[in-house]
Each structure stands twice: as structure tokens, then as C-alpha cells.
Structure 1
Amino acid sequence: MLNFNGELLKDSTLQLTNENRGFKYGDAIFETIKVVNNKVVFWEDHYFRLMASMRMLRMKIPMKFTLEFLQEEILKTIEESNKTYRVRLNVFRKDGGLYTPKTNEIDYLIEVKELNTTVKETYRIDLYKDFYNYSGLLSTVKTNNRMVNTLASIFAEENDLDNCILLNEKKGVVEVTNGNIFIIKGNIAKTPALSEGCIKGVARKKVIELIEKHPDYTIEETSISPFEVQKADEVFITNAIIGVQPVTNYRKKTFKTELSEKVRKSLQTQMILS
């Protein structure tokens, strides 16, 4: 089911013009949101990130775009309330213009699909080195320009991997194709700092808060080299849909998953209670 500017549509009936700016210029941002039993998981975090992204990209935020309004728009797009869904909320500038838009006013599209995602027991990753995610503030925004992620996902599929680590122009670890990455060495947990170019993930934020409260571990937002991934005791990835996915294999290295599993269960509990 689709919701285009408040109008509910079947998937086959949506028509976007050749002047759509998301299509022509990637002039669009999105949030990927999990809905469980009619509950929008971590909705406030998604909402405030969306608002911050729209302001950064100079999109005009409609007066009606309140937290309550958008939540209601998401829920009215869901056909059966007792299921789990992946929701993509896309915002793009209205049609027209070349690089310079005719207007900063926006359209929005909500896409809902039933979700059946499970955590994998074996999860293999490697580096993607053909192209880089460039560090900087713009890279922290979830724009529709996901070409590096797309090419890295194709690389993963061609090499029988579950995911790939993306690097920045300084050869530092940024994230994986569909989420943020954490590494554990001893009692120190590390994740790439936002200045490295990683997405400002909602699940990333929640996991940082969880580890900050853990009596035996400290968290660092910093630069991480691929060599540190190789030497880590544990590695896991996070996103708003799966929560936490422990990584079991990186090249010839096999990781433990003890802390990863604890964090995964704690975050799952937060998702249920949010």
C-alpha cells in the first residue's frame, strides 16, 4: 500500500512525472521505519532526524508535518494492525527546475511492505574498495543517492557475502551497506564517528546509549581502520529494521558474539517497549 501526500493508493496506481526531482537529481531523503503491532518503533528519533535532514537540505517543512500527523499517516497506510512492517517515508522537492529547484516545497510518499526479517546465525562481511563514501556532514543524511551502497551490495552477492564494509576517502571504516558498524576489542566498543561520513542511525544511537550504561564497557565514536576490524573480538551491525546483527566472519577471522547477542536482546526489548 502507498500513501502519496495523504492519498492511499495501490502500488500499481502511483504515477510520478519525468520531472520528479528524486528521480532526476536524487533530491530526496527517506526514513526506513519498523512498525510492530501498530506501534511505530523509535518514532520520535526517526521524526527528529527527518526534520533535521529537511532543514539541512533547505526543504520547506509543511506546518502540518507534526510528529502526530506523520505517525497517523504511517498507521493509516497499514492494512492489518497485527503484523510487522517495513515502512519507507520518502520526502522530495516538488517537480520542476534543473539543479536549481522551482520550489522548496515538498511531496511525501509512504510505502508499506510486510516484514519477515530474522537475524542470521552465520554472517560474513568483507571490505568494498571500488568506491568510497566521502566523509562530511552531508553523508550522514539518508538521501536517495545510494549508488555506493548499491554497488557494494552487488559485490557482496557476487562474492557470497552477507554485507560489505564501506570506506571513506581516508580508507577509514564508515558503515556497512545497510547500517552502522560496531567493533569490540577487550572492554572497548568503537563505532565510526559521524565525521567519518556514516549515517546518523537511529539504532546506532540506541546502541551507544546501551553501551554507555554498561558497567564493563566503554564506547568510543572515532576513526576505525580495516586492520582494527581484523583484530576485533566481536563485530556487529545495526539498523532500524533488524536491530542488531552479529557478524561471525570477516575474511579468515571468526568472531565471538557474546556481547553482540546481549546488545541485540536489549535493543529488541527497547523496540517492543518504545
Structure 2
Amino acid sequence: MPLLLYNGQILPEEDLRLPLSNRAFQYNDGFFETLVLEKGMLRFWPEHRERMEEAGSVLRLELPPELLTDCFPQIVKELAEKNHCGSITRVKFKVWRAGEGLYTPQTNQTDWLVTVQSAQTPIEEPLHVGICQTVRTIPSVFSSFKGINSPVYVLASQEKTARGLDDLILLDPAGNLAELTYSNLFWVKDQSLFTPALETGCLHGVMRRKLLQWARQKNWQVQEGFFTRTDFTGASVVFAGNVTGLRMIETVEGERTGAQSSLLHQIWQELKI
């Protein structure tokens, strides 16, 4: 029986009971974070903690003290061990405002939940993607972190399945490239790293943070901006990136893109150091 961590207490999954007044259920009043535990270490933990602090600040939530200490990765590791997870574990951390009330909260204190499950080695085959036609991103102060309310990604994922594609590129309201359904979007030209600006409504992903930091350390040019499909022209490689890794995009709407997989492999190996 799976075990989870709820407000610092380990309990069986079937024993978790949340009231109907739960604000995550009623108002999506919270956020979540997906992490990877690999060989007992939380991958990119400082960047995850930074993003969670940003989300807490925007939502005016008082984050649990356990989250802000260096002991949290060890707590997650012990939970994974109790669940007999393998060498790679998918960790989901959910935070929501405690208390009841209507739109006006009673408190800024939080309840929180950590779940773990064994994960597979990430797929490395190139992606074949399209441009999403049904929905667009919704740029706001909330779009940079993972909110509990995610209908844009749900509807885009349904379109992806219906079209038989690996993923879709979401556009912002003005028609600029924004992100994929579960990854940020990147491409490389002449030692310059390109990625859509946060103002497009894309997620301020952990991998995005790491890649921009890596590129600047390598003295590459970093271009965050408003782009269209034509900006892929001449790219050495176009790729998706999230905390699980990097994956090359081979075609967009059936048209081939730059495909230097060796460059992408090199970048990922350096990021993991």
C-alpha cells in the first residue's frame, strides 16, 4: 500500500481524508511541484525551492518550515525508500491554503502533501510536434509556476492525442511561441540559446533556469523573446526541456528542424554535473 507524507506525517494513501471545504478542491488555491529523486538525490533542488518560494510569495502563502530547510531532500528520500521506489523516483509536492472560507481566505497558512512513485528512464527518441489550435497560454502573475488549475494543458493534451503527435507547441494570445504541454521550448543557433520570454505565459521551469545559467557560464548569447516558427530556421537543434531531461524536436507540423543530437547530449551531460 503506497505511503505518502501529509503535513509531515507518513500515512497510507487510503487513510488520507480531505474535507469538502478544502481550498485546493474549491478554489485551486495552491500550487504543485514535480521533482526527480535520482540515486537518493533531489535533482536541481535549489532551483525547485526557489520556484516554490516564488509561488508562495505570489499566492501569499506561508510555506511549511520543513520545505525551507536542507533536511527536506532527506525526508523525500526516506519516503521513497519506504515505498520501495527504484533508482529514479517521481516526486510530487502539493501546497494549498489551509482553512475554509469563500474567496476571502481565513489564513495564509498551508497544508501540504508529498507523493512518490517509481519512474522510468526518460525516453530519448526525437519528438514530432504540432502547433496547438484549440487553446493558447494565459499570461499572468500565476503562469510562471505550476498551478493546481491546468485546463490549458489538459485541452492541449487532448488535441495532441487526437492528432497522433508526441506533443504540441502552445502559442501566446498574440501568436508567439510559448511552450509545450509539459516542457519549455529551446533552440540553438551559433552558440546562442533561444527560448520564449516569460511574458508569453510559459512556465518558469527548473530546466529553463538551469539552461540559461549554463549558457551564460559558457559565454553563449541568451535570447529570451517573442518568436514565431520561422525563427527555427537555421537552428542546430530544437528541443524540449523539463526536470526529467532534454528531448530533441525532429519535426514541427511535419517540417524537419535542426537535429544535432550530439550537441543536445553534450548539453545534458554538462547540466547533470
Distance 2:85 2:230 in 1: 46
Unaligned runs of 5+ residues in structure 2 are none
What corresponds to 1:3 in structure 2?
Answer: 5
Considering only aligned residues, what root-mean-square deviation do their CA atoms show, in Å?
2.1
Classify 1:270/1:227 alpha carbon distance in 2 versus 1 (closer, same or farther; 3 Å): closer
After TM superposition, the structure 1 stretch with the greater mean CA deviation from structure 2, 186-195 or 150-159, is: 186-195
Contact 1:33–1:240 (CA<8 Å) still a contact in 2?
A: yes
Corresponding residue for residue 48 of structure 2 = 46
The match for 2:112 among 104, 108, 118 is 108
1:212 and 2:210 aligned: no
Q: Does the CA-based 8 Å contact 2:233-2:257 persist in structure 1?
A: no
Tell me how far 1:186 sits from its aligned partner: 4.7
Shift of 1:204: 0.9
**Which residue of 1 is the match for residue 87 of structure 2?**
83
Tell me if structure 2 keeps the 8 A contact 1:6–1:73: no
1:82 is displaced (CA, Å) by 5.5
Q: Deviations over 1:222-260 (max 9, x none)?
A: 11123334674531010002x1011111112112321x5
Q: CA deviation at 1:59?
A: 0.5
Candidates 234, 238, 253, aligned match of 1:235: 238
Offset at 1:149? 0.6
2:268 pairs with 1:267: yes
Q: Distance in 1 between matches of 2:86 and 2:167?
A: 30
**Residue matched to 2:22:** 20
Asked if the contact 1:38/1:82 (under 8 Å) is kept, the reply is no
Q: Which runs of no fewer than 5 residues in structure 1 stay unpaired?
A: none
1:222 aligns with 2:202: no
CA distance in 1 between counterparts of 2:134 and 2:29 reads 25
- Which residue of 128, 132, 156 maps to 1:128? 132
Q: CA deviation at 1:3?
A: 0.8
Asked if structure 2 preserves the Cα contact closer than 8 Å seen for 1:137 and 1:195, the reply is: no
Q: Which moved more, 1:155-164 or 1:111-120?
A: 111-120
> How far apart are 1:7 and its partner, in Å?
1.5
Could you say what secondary structure the match of 2:20 adopts?
coil
The offset of 1:28, in angstroms, is: 1.3
- Quick one: structure 1 residues 213 and 262, their matched pair in 2 at CA, closer, same or farther if it must change by over 3 Å? farther
- Within a 5 Å distance, the mapping from 1:130-209 to structure 2 comes to 130-209=134-213
The amino acid that maps onto 2:4 is L
* Greater shift in the superposed pair: 230-239 or 28-37: 230-239
Letter in 2 for 1:262: L
Offset of 1:143 from its aligned partner? 1.0
Question: Structure 1 length normalisation: TM-score?
Answer: 0.90
Residue number in structure 2 paired with 1:94: 98
Q: Which residue number in structure 1 is paired with residue 70 of structure 2?
A: 68
How much does 1:187 deviate?
4.5
Q: Does 1:253 align with 2:240?
A: no
